[in-house]
Amino acid sequence: GNSVTQMEGPVTLSEEAFLTINCTYTATGYPSLFWYVQYPGEGLQLLLKATKADDKGSNKGFEATYRKETTSFHLEKGSVQVSDSAVYFCARSSRGNEKLTFGTGTRLTIIP
């Protein structure tokens, strides 16, 4: 079946550090891939997405590239800020199947 495996947290970094959160997915179908962010006490917000192989999604300094050869969609940011502290969810959907399958989420804390 469809699944998403996400780097377990929590992750704690200092401000301006480089961030990578790993995400891999099962290769069935032709999935679209997403990163969602959840700030404390709030719902999920779409951070970025990619719909086909080699696409790069980017937003607010975050990037992720759809890698078909490694079935990965790792989230990266060159210099994190305290305001980036949140829980990050990797997710996939498949064409013809509207359902999203989420990873377990990675809690990120940035220390000043």
Partner 1 sequence: GAVVSQHPSRVICKSGTSVKIECRSLDFQATTMFWYRQFPKKSLMLMATSNEGSKATYEQGVEKDKFLINHASLTLSTLTVTSAHPEDSSFYICSARGVDRYTDTQYFGPGTRLTVL
The binding site for partner 1 (CB under 8 A) comprises 32, 34, 36, 42-46, 49, 51, 89, 93, 98-100, 102-105, 107
Q: How far is the CB of 103 from partner 1 (least distance, A)?
A: 7
Q: How far is the CB of 18 from partner 1 (least distance, A)?
A: 25
Phi, psi torsion values for 80, nearest 5 degrees = -80, 155
- Residue (17 or 46) nearer to partner 1, CB: 46
Residue with tokens 């992720």: 64
Alpha carbon distance 22, 29 (integer Å): 21
Residue with tokens 């099962």: 26
Cβ-based neighbours of 54, under 8 Å, separated by 6 or more: 65, 66, 67, 68
- Residue (1 or 112) nearer to partner 1, CB: 1
Q: How far is the CB of 104 from partner 1 (least distance, A)?
A: 5
